[in-house]
Structure 1
């Protein structure tokens, strides 16, 4: 079935005009905004102290946050509106410590406002250049005993967030009373909570009637006021990770901390941000709000941080490949031929050959890894290696491992099996991130927490698992179409696509759909998990994968319905757009808006044909609709480039 062009450009241009206008405004703002946060003069709130509600308005086009204090029992709430419609009903805010209850009995003590304007770059993620423009309001409350709680609220065009500041020493945090109450008529896309964040997402027609249980802090809701994704940002060792809790037949989702354990404090405390990424589906999908809330980079020199595709050998060869220098050299050769900058050596390289889970005590002298690193470096390929996190818990042992890997010339580490979001484990992340930055080692966390702004503060974090990726056997087509709107919104995701040889993948009948996942899912190190033989058997897939860029400059949602379909376009530094799409349901033809810019474009599509992958080139105009055939539970991949006289391909 060939791809056909449907001339509906006028209709699409009218539909996409607001999005183009938003892009122009953001571009102009980028030239004007300073690189540091700028505070407006603090002012006293104009309302009388007895006022029950206060609005926080952000830049033009932003939602509005409403902070309120119930005069009956003194509990505070936060609500969110957009364009007159409700995104979040008044929802409880507050926490309880050993010495004070900040969930009720509060009195209002004042407010101050400022604007937050920042400009930063990111080596990974949906876009390289980031512009931050938010309004911040700090509300001061006191208990009857005089203890003080500050509620810091931020509003941006793509979200609302709040955090708590305890200026005094009020003891350990016992619990938060933070919650999110959804308006009637909201539906939900939720993933059950587990320590490794690898459970699947499910759609619920009613957010209120979702089953009782714990859910991940990456829950997507469609509300009367637009989409809303609950997340958190700036979680470090001063706190613990959180999860959502829900009781069936309730519109409210509460928040609980790891195992309900107290958060240990020794003085003043600033909690993580509780974030609501909100807007239309494109705004939420393209948002960098979770990163924007996080602290600025703690790595001064980032010249050594270089993202790019990698040949991941675990699914290709398993344990045997990890223990064989000869096998790894062949993988390096294949990565060289493809132009991929990295090869990842997984478990097995430092184990005893007779017991793969026991570390060789003489690994520093017995290992063939230095030889592999030298061999790969001569061919322009960098080596990343797998480590069990327990090797890095003791400071002396951590220094031994990381300094040795740096001396060998290893470029990055894949650290596995943390499986906790406790305060103790978050402190471990702090220590490991400082150490890996000092030793110039890029990081991929597996069996891990989810990003939560970590990639802005520690830009050497190339990617994190926190997802049931390609090696799992439990994925579904619905899961593939859920991840672009949930997990991958908040940061890089190591799904490890490209395993054409795996019979367990949910799109097993669609090689084009599998190929499209390499673009649909963003990862600073895109670990390609197929075998060389599977790539060679699919020359069109191999040709496409050889063109994958090191990073993305911009991301756009072209079409999507969470849990059912997703089409994303990502722009490379050379101006080409790479497109990936995935769909549930029977075979059909999908309409893809060419929302890439005005003018003439060539679009090379890769779809499933009766005898394998089919590549076709089409001349279109920006704003046209492209009709693309997809197989049942399948998808497609594409590359778009500017059309010039005599140009017949998008390959550089």
Structure 2
């Protein structure tokens, strides 16, 4: 990674001038205030932000009275706060490059304000606020280098969503594997109190949208979630600790401590889907060498054969599949330490490498459960294990079954990434927390599960009936914040059937972004495909130079365009149980004539319609989709 430029210019403002903040393009503004318990402005009180969006026909309030503050067991930083009389403003302009994700070249442009506070005991806290063209981020900082440890007992950050808004939120689970329910959907638990990040909101009858999440967690942070308040539309940030637990079981801070960024991506749906704000605000790349980070497609045997890696012959079958499909990787999933039936792990690695396929390996992050287990729990054991993997010829690891979102687990994630990078190993986190910007800090983090993915076809019938709807929600929610290891594109059935069409399944290869894209079906599912569909899967990239939302609405439809080099790929999904016509436009193309190779629904849900269509930048086509159907394809410029 290289930094092209970083410009920080500091100004000092008095409080009266600095209350009003704006984004570089002026479309988003924020106003800071201190108020008393009655809501009156005061010189010492409770801190609040108001956020306004002006990129539409009229100014739209996004958040009014966003309450701020933190409380420690020794001091309160949420009331009786006083500005110390000086506020720093800076203009941040940065360029960076990524190895994988929705866009290769990134721009980190923001206006930043730092508010300096003292409480009534003269203890200090800073509030850092950044306004971007596509959102707002803020964090808390304790600037004093206090050597004592203090427990954070509560965070007061509370988002109050405007009345009349619509939401897409995921009931909190430790693995972040659930559906993003709309407020119009029937929730499984009407009394749901905790909700996971990210959460999506439609404001002012879809005029503008906001996705709330967090970013840039250090080993001194815990991961947060949202707790529903008594007031409708009120959501307070909460940590994973039990408020009734003893102080020894809380989040402890010391020294020059910063909270994670609280991030609100704001704009039209196009801005939400295309945003890289979660990574933009995160700590820059910490690796001196990233040449070993090479995104690619992976053959994977677990979806079809849950214990497939125990069988050497099955492993060979999936290596051969990777060869035929021109995919660079294969994954040896759980129980590779029990491999038999003609060969062991060393034999499997040797066979894969002899065929030009790079093996990846699964690990249990914990101390019990499926094997191999307890090999990554300490720095010493990791270094020993990773050195052995280098000697064996392994290119990456999939680490599963993380316990929780507490501070020690966040540190464990980062320790794994750092130690793996020492041995040039790529990492995939499963049974894990949702992405929070670490793929910028540690580019060897290729993808994260944290999604109700195709693996759930193993576990029950729910995915069968809800997959199409779910697949058209994820690009607007979970996949916005980082790579998503959904394990897509299946044509045969696992333990429970799928009723999405073959064209819908094929389109998931482009609709879902993941630096390691684990294609989940059994070999027969891919080898039975007509040649154009098979060729598409042999060539489709997994890392992108650009991403554009063409049109869509969560739970109904989505049409995406992604670019790799000079070639654009398109994907359309019908999320409903009725036939639907999706419109595909080409405004993202440069001038000239193009040929669109389109693979869409045929006469039945298992048939494809394959066409070559001449298009230009100004053109548009309408694609008929079956219930739960879709389309995909690619565009090549006519020379």
How far apart, CA to CA, are the structure 2 residues paired with 1:202 and 1:211?
A: 14
CA RMSD of aligned residues (A): 2.3
TM-score, normalization by structure 2: 0.89
Q: Is the 8 A contact 2:201 2:211 kept in 1?
A: yes
* Larger deviation, residues 398-407 vs 592-601: 592-601
| Alignment pair present for 1:65 and 2:41 | no
Q: CA deviation at 1:46?
A: 5.9
Q: Is the 8 A contact 2:508 2:571 kept in 1?
A: no
Of 75, 79, 86, which aligns to 2:61? 86
**Equivalent residue, structure 2, for 1:309:** 297
| Mapping for residues 334-413 of structure 1, pairs under 5 Å | 334-351=321-338, 368-390=344-366, 391-413=375-397
Q: Is the 8 A contact 2:303 2:494 kept in 1?
A: no
Of 619, 624, 632, which aligns to 2:614? 619
How far apart, CA to CA, are the structure 1 residues paired with 2:258 and 2:536?
A: 46
| Alignment pair present for 1:281 and 2:285 | no
| Alignment pair present for 1:154 and 2:125 | no
How far apart, CA to CA, are the structure 2 residues paired with 1:449 and 1:536?
A: 35
Tell me the SS of whatever aligns to 1:259.
Answer: coil
Q: Is the 8 A contact 1:284 1:489 kept in 2?
A: yes
Q: CA deviation at 1:550?
A: 4.4
| Mapping for residues 29-178 of structure 1, pairs under 5 Å | 35-45=4-14, 47=16, 54-70=19-35, 71=41, 74-83=45-54, 84-109=59-84, 110-168=86-144, 169=146, 171-178=150-157
| Alignment pair present for 1:217 and 2:217 | no
Tell me the SS of whatever aligns to 2:176.
Answer: coil
Tell me the SS of whatever aligns to 2:446.
Answer: strand
Q: CA deviation at 1:267?
A: 2.4
**Equivalent residue, structure 1, for 2:179:** 200
How far apart, CA to CA, are the structure 1 residues paired with 2:313 and 2:192?
A: 52
How far apart, CA to CA, are the structure 1 residues paired with 2:343 and 2:286?
A: 33
How far apart, CA to CA, are the structure 2 residues paired with 1:591 and 1:41?
A: 47
Give the total of aligned pairs: 595
Q: Is the 8 A contact 2:572 2:582 kept in 1?
A: no
Question: Structure 2 unaligned runs (5+)?
Answer: 36-40, 243-248, 367-374
Q: CA deviation at 1:352?
A: 7.4
Q: CA deviation at 1:115?
A: 1.3
* Larger deviation, residues 633-642 vs 155-164: 633-642
Q: CA deviation at 1:408?
A: 0.9
**Equivalent residue, structure 2, for 1:530:** 521
Q: CA deviation at 1:38?
A: 2.1
How far apart, CA to CA, are the structure 2 residues paired with 1:367 and 1:38?
A: 57
1:111-139: CA deviations, max 9, x gaps?
Answer: 10111121111111100111111111000
Tell me the SS of whatever aligns to 1:295.
Answer: coil
Q: Is the 8 A contact 1:233 1:293 kept in 2?
A: yes
Q: CA deviation at 1:444?
A: 0.5
| Alignment pair present for 1:256 and 2:238 | yes
Q: Is the 8 A contact 2:489 2:506 kept in 1?
A: yes
Of 481, 485, 495, which aligns to 2:472? 481
* Larger deviation, residues 430-439 vs 377-386: 377-386
How far apart, CA to CA, are the structure 2 residues paired with 1:498 and 1:58?
A: 40
Distance 1:54 1:304, change over 3 A: same
Distance 1:136 1:449, change over 3 A: same
Q: Is the 8 A contact 1:507 1:634 kept in 2?
A: no
How far apart, CA to CA, are the structure 2 residues paired with 1:234 and 1:509?
A: 36
How far apart, CA to CA, are the structure 2 residues paired with 1:456 and 1:555?
A: 18
Q: CA deviation at 1:506?
A: 8.0
Q: CA deviation at 1:258?
A: 0.9
1:542-564: CA deviations, max 9, x gaps?
Answer: 22201212421100001110122
Q: Is the 8 A contact 2:573 2:628 kept in 1?
A: no
Q: Is the 8 A contact 1:202 1:563 kept in 2?
A: no
Q: Is the 8 A contact 2:309 2:339 kept in 1?
A: no
1:470-515: CA deviations, max 9, x gaps?
Answer: 0103331221111000100000000000121126778524110011
Q: CA deviation at 1:75?
A: 0.3
**Equivalent residue, structure 2, for 1:240:** 222
**Equivalent residue, structure 2, for 1:430:** 414
How far apart, CA to CA, are the structure 1 residues paired with 2:525 and 2:339?
A: 30
How far apart, CA to CA, are the structure 1 residues paired with 2:100 and 2:359?
A: 19
| Alignment pair present for 1:442 and 2:423 | no
Q: CA deviation at 1:310?
A: 0.9
How far apart, CA to CA, are the structure 1 residues paired with 2:241 and 2:574?
A: 36
Question: Structure 1 unaligned runs (5+)?
Answer: 1-32, 355-365, 645-652
How far apart, CA to CA, are the structure 2 residues paired with 1:344 and 1:581?
A: 28
1:159-195: CA deviations, max 9, x gaps?
Answer: 1000000123372211100111112221101111000
**Equivalent residue, structure 2, for 1:8:** none
